[in-house]
Every structure is written in structure tokens, then in C-alpha cells.
Structure 1
Amino acid sequence: MCGIFCAVSCPTPVWPSPEIQQLLEKRGPDSSDRRIFTVTRDTRETRDQPQLDTRITFVSTVLSLRGQATVQQPYQVSTSSSTLCWNGEAWAVKGVAPEGNDTAAVFRLLDDAEAAQTPLEGTRRLDQTSQRAASIARQIAQIAGPYAFVFHDAAHGLLFYGRDFLGRRSLLTKLTEQGDILIASVTDAPVIDGWSEVEADGLYCVDLLQVLDRAGDGGRETPYSRHPVTKVSYHSAEDARHAPLAAVDLPAASSSIACVPKLAILFSGGLDCSVLARLAHDLIPLPEGIDLLNVAFENPRIHKHVAEGANSQATYELCPDRATGRTSYAELQRICPGREWRFVAINIPYTETMEHRQKVITLMHPHNTEMDLSISYALYFAARGAGSLSPLPSVLEPYTTSARVLLSGLGADELFGGYQRHATAYGRKGFSGLLDELDLDISRLGKRNLGRDDRVISNWGREARFPYLDEQLLTWALDAPVTDKCGFGEPAFDCSGGPGDGSEMIEPGKKVLRCLAWKLGMREAAKEKKRAIQFGARTAKMETGKTKGTQLLS
């Protein structure tokens, strides 16, 4: 996990504000560095006019998770003038898992692409740019894994940036009134400040040599970049389908700290996260513990009857996600007895929620609805990982997770029909309506969820990973018949193989996951009903009065 900032400006260099710099360092606490590059373009009509210089500034911070040593960014090598700012995990490049740190492997991939083609003499600049962008796009499409990046092809005066095709890593962009282009992982913006998510729909290219006159466009004084920005569509490569599964590729630990957890799970006790926990047990050596991060909030709208000084612990233990969390925790202990499971009870008083309100709003920007805030609260405090080791409700031992990798169950509902709207779509239009709704959910993951979640979670120097959005699993899920994934339209059934007696019935949504949980011994989790995070943790409608999730923040 890394923090990225890049600015293209004329003629004065632009650096991140102190607030953005601090947020970048929170994402990447292991190293921080900056670079500047000057592009000179002679646009003079007469000799007495000044040349126009473009400054490109790069700032990168690094959370080092792979390899034996931290690789400094912005990344450069002595044999090339190019620069890479990389925020991601390349599980595979051209179908092969890179050894050690992946930043160098990605740089070689992109640098080889830009070196492989030399424009023919006399080729138009626009054609040259198009050829180069297509070449870089083909290379990027051969990376399997979550990422956002900025790559400066100095030899050809081009700047490329983008996100993976699902948008699993955050990247924002802004065009200033001066015509400067800003690109960043995070922003210090208020609710309305011109920042927008970089769409996860292609590779974006800035031609640094083709300077535009802001007085153009028919003389209208609309602020736009001095440099043209174009987009080249790309898709995940076929090779990505054969990439090695990495839900749990973790930083190596020395034998002296082998029992220190390197992995934590955002754990509501629901179906999705419980399956992840059970699968992680099969993949991680037994001496190592796994932390289960379970968050519960004091909500004055719900808990107004709890008097000051009353049994405050009950406030949190009555939260729905706390109850299901403890049930699934007990189930994991029973079927995986050799593992040290650490149930981390994270209790957040209302006053503490309000203290962090503006910080959370800043991190989730440009998302700005009440629902965004309620979801972000839960992820923000859960990812902090500071609570109590709580094997029993009456036992509290202060504890903060040491894990830098957090597993999230996000994506399971979108893939396997877990939302109520999927049942509604099926009820209205049958499988045709259900398929349309599932397609819509997958197509908008990057815009609705993932960038926001990445910014909120990564503020604590931890990296979120989404196993249900692994390229191999995603490919299988998209190719599988919808009746293999969910049970809408089928008679009520249990996972034992027969119609059952009614005592073990499961919901039709996410049937495939429910059957997997049952097979793995997680029978209580298999029967657990879907519940949105903001209701399970009780972050929804923290204020009294009538508000809707779609209401914009004031």
C-alpha cells in the first residue's frame, strides 16, 4: 500500500499541502520521497517570448509488505529517465508471480513497452501518442491484482495514470483554475472541491509536449488543462485468469515473532467474512494467530434509554454484529481448535465518533452522502484495530492488532446475489432482471465502494484485500450460471443435500457461499441473514431526526 501525489503544472511546481502530505504518510509509513521533472516545450512565435516549462512533481509514501527490503518510491533506475509511483499488488505479471517486491517488476514492464517502439520519422504527434498509449495499455492489462499508478514516460513526454479494472485502489484527480492537473490517492478537500475518482475504465494519458492555450475553445474562459488528456480502454489480460490466488500473501515474519498476527479480518460474524476466516485457517501456519476485528458503536438514536454511567458494555454487546461476531467466533474455535483466534471487540462511544467525523468525511471524499459516512465510520474504526481482546463479554484486555493486511468480504454480495434488491429484481423480472442487477453491481464497484473504502481503511497504515474480487474467482463467478450462485426460484432447501425439515433452511441469496460455509463446518454462518454493515454496527442515522442514506452531507 502506498500514497501517491502527482502534479502537472506550468511554470511553478505544485507540491501536496501539509494536510495531504500527512494523509499520504499515514497510508505509507515506511518511506516517503519526492521528485521533480521539467519538460521544456518551445512554443515561442518570436525570440523575445519566454519558453513554457512544465513541472511534474511526484510524491510517494510506501507501506512495505513484499520483499526483504523497502523499495523507495517514486521509483527510478539509472538506465532510464522514467518514473513510477505504484500503489498496488501485482500478484502476477504475464501470468507469473514476480519474485520479491513488485514495484521493480511493474516498472520493467512499462519501461520495456515505452522503449520497444520508436516512432517513425515524420509520424504525427497524435499518432505517436496513440501508439504509445496502446502499448502501455497492453502491458498494464497483463497485471493481475489491485493497483493505482502514475507512470512518467520521460523519453516521449507522456504521463500515464489509472486504476485496475475494478478500482480496488484509490486514485483521485482534479483540474485547478490555473489549468494544473493534480492526481492523488487522498485529498484534504471539503465536501465540494473539484476532486473526482479516476474512473476504473481505462488508461489515462497526458501529452506533456502538446501544450494547449487556455484562451482557446472559442475564447471561452472555462478552466481546463493546458495538456490534453486522453483515455485508452483496456481489460484484464487472459493471463490474469491464470494468476496465482493471493488472498493471503503476507509479509514474512522472523521465527522469533512467528505468533504475531500478520493477518486480520474485518469481522461482523456474517457469512462472507466467516468463510474468509475459515479458508484463511487452511492457508496460514498454525503458530500464527488471526485477529477478528469486530466493531460496535454507541448510537444515541438507539441507545438513548441507556443512562449515563449505566452498563455501557451492554450498549455494544447488543449490537447485531457483536452478537453474530461472537457466534461465529465460537464456531471457528470449535472447528479450528489449533488456531489462536483473537476476537478484538472495538467499542466506539458516540463522542469519539464525533471527534473523528471531519477526518472520515475528508477521507471518503468525493463521496458525501449519509450512507457513505455511516459505512465509512465502521470501516475506519475497525481498520484502526484498537479495542479489547474479548473472549467473553465480561473480559476486556486492551489490544491493538499488529496486522498490516486486512481481509474484507466486499464483493460477495455483488457476485452472488446477496442484497435485497437482487431478490426484488428477481421477483419483478425473473432471472433476466436478476442478471441485469448483478451486472450493474459489478460495473460500478469502483465508483461506489472501493476507492472510498481504500482511502478510509488505509489511513491506519494497513492494506485492505478483497479475496472475492480476485481475478480467478471473479472470472469463474461471471461465467457460472446464475442458478449455481444463488437459489432464487428454488424450493426452500438446506445444505445437507435434501429438502430438510425446516430447521436448517438457508436464504437463496449467495447460495454457493452458504453451501461452502456448510461444507467447511460453519453451519451457523451459513444460515446467517444478510445485514448491511451500517445497521449491524449501528452507525446508520447517528443523529436524531429524519435522514435518508442518499441525503448529501451538509
Structure 2
Amino acid sequence: MCGIFCSIYQPQQDSESSKQWNICKDAIAARGPDYFMEKHFMLNNDWHGHFAAAVLWMQGSKITTQPSLDDNDNLLLWNGDIFSGCLAKDDVCDTNIILAELQSTTNIMSVLRKMEGPYCLVYYQKSSNMLYFGRDIIGRHSLLLKVDNKSNSLTLTSVANKEMREIVEVPAIGIFVMNLNMSQINLACYPWKEPDLMFTDVIDLLETNLNVDIDIKETISNTCSSALTNLHLHPEPKDVEYLENASCNKDFNEVLQCLLKNQEVNERVESLSKLLHQSVKIRIKKKPNYCKECIKIVLNDGNVICAHSKIGVLFSGGLDSAILAAIAHEYIPEDESIDLINVAFERPESQNQSMNNMNEKRNVMQKYDVPDRKTGRQTYSELLRMYPNRKWNFIECNITQVELQLYRASRICDLLYPLRTILDESLGCAMWFASRAKGVLYPVNEIYESPCRILLLGIGADELFGGYMRHRTILKHKGWDALVEELSIELNRISERNLGRDDRIVSDHGKQSRLPYLDENLVKHVQQMKPWERCYPTEKMPSGLGDKLLLRLLACKIGFQYTANFPKRAFQFGSRIANGKENANDVSNRL
């Protein structure tokens, strides 16, 4: 994970570039505490370039510095991980692999087609005088863009703040190019997929916001596009007979056990399990084997054997995070602890409660007795039962209203920017405090701050497996066609709705979020399934069973008895940061 910054400006506008950099540099540096460097170049008579990067060492046997230059003076700013595909290699940093691949060809898009994994990049090709930038096809990392037509400058940055007016998120619809042979700001876009109505809407909005015409080029790839979106989908009675028969049982666990006896169902669960195991495995294995503190010793040429936690799970105790924790256990040495990070926010009314008649411990329990704390402890107990030889650190992060207000105003509001809704605020705050991972260990009540540098997040599971209540509503009123279309739209929009924001939030702590459910191979596999094979949110299968049915079957097969049936609960409500009376889509006046 890195923080990257690029400013392309005209020689007489050097002060404007410096102004943008001064706004961004502290937030950029927080993302990459292991190394920092910046470079200034005269690209040609019309354009100068300011490139900077802060590196979080996550790959290779030693740290690779950035900005990276090759022998031909091509320059790469890279924030990403190649987890699979023909370019994936163990013990070699992706930065070096990508830079060498790009140097070896004049066809940049041929390299991009081969890249599998979360990333954003900025690449300057010296021979053509072209600047390429963009996010991966799913949009798992943040990249922001500001075009200033008055000063004729373009700025790209992983993160900014509220001072940087008119900045936008680079949409994850393709790779953008600026031709530096022209003296004015110009943009073209190579779409990831064949342009559709959604693509056109995004481009139109981007052109309006930037006041720049964008030239649409040929399509790069068709990876991760849904093969089912335009089909007329409705199951025949025989297609869902086994689901209807199983749902007659009142006991949810027995329904799942019954379904797993069906050969086709069991094979689907096995296929999903295999892909999810592969996804979690590579996201655990691809890292230096040092925690946040021990890596400082190594970077200062010291020697250390690190036995501390290196992997954490953002852990509500719900279905998605429970499955990730169980699979992670398979690939982490048994003598190494795994951190389960559970966040709860103080109830506003509890500030006024007198402690005179309560002991302190009981008072804390009541203040932070939120839904996610209850399910978290319950699932933690299940993990202890299933894997008794593993040390699980269940971290209770209790956030007071005073602390929430302080960091929301001083830090989180800038990380969220340019997003500003109440939903962004509540989810962003919950994610920031969870990924900070400071709290007390349950049940021993010892103060603990997680030293892990990698966090596994369950993002994407609801969009893939039909986990939201609206999916049930859509199916009831509009049918399976409408549901599969909704699932496809949600996945296409997850980059603008969630992923850029969450990347900016988590990375602020010098940690990297890794998202196993959004692995390309897993996404492609699930999208090719019929919707009733991944969820069955009908009246016969109530909440806690029909939603995310395929994941519930996997949890049951893994050995979870209670967690497999926990109903979906939004993070902002489970941690009790959100006010249900507010409209989530309104602009927040607290940011």
C-alpha cells in the first residue's frame, strides 16, 4: 500500500503545484510510513511534473522505493497488489514487475489486460509523452483527480482534504490518458468494458465536473462483466424444488444441513470454498513477516523474529467476517495470534448516566452493549470452540462521543472528502476507529493496540450474495430479473460508493485493507451463477437464512452453529454510530 501524488503543471504555475502538494502531503505520508520520496521533472517545454510516493512495504524481500524510474526514464507510481494471473510472482515486488512489463512494450493496454488484483497507478511514458492513470476494474484503491482549467494543471492523489475544492474520485470505468504533446489539459479514456448507459452517465458527469471533453478509446477487457445481466431469469419449479422442500423445516441450522446433503448444492459450496480459500491465502501470504513495530527494526538494518499478530479481521461477529477469520486460521502459523477487531460507540444518552450507583466495569458494558459487540463475543466463542489451539485476540474498541467528535472534525472529515453524506460519515468513522484497533482484550480487560499491518474486510459479500433487505423487497415486487440486475449494478457501483472511501480511511493508520470477497476470480465465478443459487430471499426463507444463502451454507460446512444464521446488520447500526432517524443520503453538517 502506498500514498501516491502527481501534479502536471506549466512552468509558470509552480506555486500552484506546491500549494496542492502541501494540502495532501501529510495524509499521503500517513499511508506509507516506511519510505518517502518526491521527484520533479521537466517533461517537455509545456509541462513539468511533480511525483511523490510514501511506501508501506508489503512485497518483496526488501523495500522497493517510489517513484520508480526505468532505464528509459519512464516513471511509475504504483499502489497495488498483483495477487493472481500471469504477472503474479512470489518474493518480487509488483512495482518492479509492472515497470519492466510497461518498459518492454509500446502497447500499454496489453499489460493492463494481464494485471489481476487491486491497484491504482500513474505511469508516464517518456517516448510517447503520455500520462496514464486509473484504478483497477473493481476500483479497490482510492485515486482522486483535480483539473484546474484556470492554472492549466492536473493533480492526482490517493487522498486529499477539504481545502482541495472541486476534486473528484477517478471512476473505476477504465484507464485515463493525458497527451502531454498538447499544451492544454486533455483526457481520453480506455474503458474496461463495452460502454453502456452507466458508463455514459459517469463520463458525462466527469466531463461536467472537470470541464474537459473526454475522448473514448477502444475497450481494454471484459473481465468481471456479468454474463447474466440481460438474460430473462426465472427458475422453473424443478430448479428450486430442493430449496422449497428444505425451507419447510423451522430450524435454520437443520435447513442448511439438509441443503448440504444435496450433491449440486454441496458442489457449489465446495467451488466457492476453494476460491475463497485461494483469495484469503494469497492475501495472507504476500507480505513481510513483521508487525508494525518489528518492521521498523528491520528497516533500520536490525534483525528480529516477529511473533506478534500480523493479520487482523474487522470483526462484527457477522457471517462475512466470521468466515474470513476461520479461513485465515488455515494459513497463519498456529503459534501466531489473529486479531479480531470489534468497534462500539458510546450511546449518546449514556453520557448523562451517573456512575455513583454502578461499578465502572458494569457501566462500560452498558455504554457499549451494542448489537455488534454481542454477536462479536458470540462468534469469538465459536472460534475458540472450533480452533482451541489458536490465540484469538478479541479487541473491544470502545469509542466515546467526545473522541468521535474530536477525530471526526480533525481527521476523518478530510479522509472522506470528497464524499460528504451521513452514510459516508457513519461508515467512515466506524471504519477509522476499527482500523486504528486500540482497545481492550476480552475477557481479560487488558489494554491492547493491534500491531498488524494487514486487515481483512468482508466488503463485497452483500453485493455478491444478496445480503441487503432491499434485495428481498426487489425480488418480492419485481422478480428474479430485477434482482440480478440490481446485484450487477451494485457491484459496478461499489467503487464509487464504498471502496475509495474505505481505502482512504484504513490506510490512514499505515495499514492495508485486503478484500477477499472482491478477488476477480471469485467475483467472476459468482456472477456466472444463477441468482437463486447464491441467495433465496423469499418469504419461505426469512432473514438470517435466504439472504446470502450460499455463504450461510459455507459457514455451516466450516462448523459455525450460530453465526451461520445471524441476520444481516449494517455496520453503522451494529456499532451504533448511526442515527436511524437521519436520511443516510443527506449531506452531513458534521463534516
TM-score range, shorter chain: 0.7 to 0.9
Which of 137, 152, 162 is matched with 1:179 structurally?
152
In 1: Cα distance, 2:181 partner to 2:120 partner: 24
1:80 and 2:72 aligned? yes
What is residue 292 of structure 1 aligned with on the other side?
Answer: 340
Letter in 2 for 1:292: L
In 1: Cα distance, 2:213 partner to 2:535 partner: 48
Q: 1:35 to 1:213 in 2, by over 3 A?
A: closer
1:374 and 2:422 aligned? no
1:29 and 2:40 aligned? no
1:360 and 2:437 aligned? no
1:440 and 2:489 aligned? yes
Letter in 1 for 2:403: E
Shift of 1:110: 1.5
1:153 and 2:125 aligned? yes
What is residue 38 of structure 1 aligned with on the other side?
Answer: 42
Q: 1:19 to 1:223 in 2, by over 3 A?
A: closer
Shift of 1:339: 0.8
Q: 1:96 to 1:253 in 2, by over 3 A?
A: closer
What is residue 370 of structure 2 aligned with on the other side?
Answer: 319
Shift of 1:213: 8.8
Shift of 1:521: 0.8
Which of 385, 396, 402 is matched with 1:345 structurally?
396
Which of 387, 404, 408 is matched with 2:439 structurally?
387
CA contact (8 A) 2:161 2:414 kept: yes
What percent identity do the matched residue pairs reach?
33
CA contact (8 A) 1:269 1:326 kept: yes
Letter in 1 for 2:435: A
CA contact (8 A) 2:87 2:97 kept: no
In 1: Cα distance, 2:185 partner to 2:123 partner: 25
CA contact (8 A) 1:207 1:228 kept: no
Letter in 2 for 1:75: S
CA contact (8 A) 1:268 1:294 kept: yes
In 2: Cα distance, 1:67 partner to 1:229 partner: 38
Q: 1:316 to 1:68 in 2, by over 3 A?
A: farther
In 1: Cα distance, 2:511 partner to 2:184 partner: 41
CA contact (8 A) 2:146 2:210 kept: no
* Structure 1 gaps, min length 5: 42-52, 115-134, 215-221, 494-504
Q: Pairwise mapping of residues 85-164 of structure 1 onto structure 2 (< 5 A)?
A: 85-94=77-86, 96-97=88-89, 99-114=91-106, 135-164=107-136
What is residue 268 of structure 2 aligned with on the other side?
Answer: none
Q: Pairwise mapping of residues 423-462 of structure 1 onto structure 2 (< 5 A)?
A: 423-462=472-511
Which of 537, 545, 548 is matched with 1:507 structurally?
545
Shift of 1:100: 1.7
Letter in 1 for 2:414: T
Letter in 2 for 1:350: Q
RMSD value, Cα: 2.6
Letter in 1 for 2:77: C
Q: 1:347 to 1:204 in 2, by over 3 A?
A: same
CA contact (8 A) 1:202 1:232 kept: no
CA contact (8 A) 1:143 1:236 kept: no
In 2: Cα distance, 1:227 partner to 1:481 partner: 39
1:526 and 2:564 aligned? yes
CA contact (8 A) 1:98 1:105 kept: no
Which of 524, 531, 534 is matched with 1:475 structurally?
524
1:537 and 2:575 aligned? yes
Shift of 1:227: 11
Q: Helix, strand or coil for the counterpart of 1:178?
A: coil
Deviations 1:478-520 (A, max 9, x none): 1111121012348449xxxxxxxxxxx9420000110110111
Q: Mean Cα displacement is larger for which, 135-144 or 409-418?
A: 135-144
Shift of 1:523: 1.7
Letter in 2 for 1:551: D
What is residue 549 of structure 1 aligned with on the other side?
Answer: 584
1:264 and 2:312 aligned? yes
Shift of 1:40: 2.6
Q: Helix, strand or coil for the counterpart of 2:390?
A: coil
Q: Mean Cα displacement is larger for which, 250-259 or 192-201?
A: 250-259
Residues paired across the two proteins, number: 494
1:252 and 2:256 aligned? no
What is residue 555 of structure 2 aligned with on the other side?
Answer: 517
What is residue 219 of structure 1 aligned with on the other side?
Answer: none
CA contact (8 A) 2:552 2:564 kept: yes
Q: 1:242 to 1:375 in 2, by over 3 A?
A: closer
Shift of 1:314: 1.9
1:235 and 2:205 aligned? no
Shift of 1:467: 0.3
What is residue 7 of structure 2 aligned with on the other side?
Answer: 7
TM-score, with normalisation over the residues of structure 2? 0.79
In 1: Cα distance, 2:481 partner to 2:209 partner: 44
Q: Mean Cα displacement is larger for which, 226-235 or 279-288?
A: 226-235
In 1: Cα distance, 2:80 partner to 2:184 partner: 33
In 2: Cα distance, 1:237 partner to 1:99 partner: 26
Letter in 2 for 1:363: L
Shift of 1:551: 1.2
Shift of 1:60: 0.5
Letter in 1 for 2:461: A
1:61 and 2:34 aligned? no
Q: Higher helix share goes to which structure? A: 2
Letter in 2 for 1:24: I
CA contact (8 A) 1:179 1:224 kept: no
What is residue 123 of structure 1 aligned with on the other side?
Answer: none
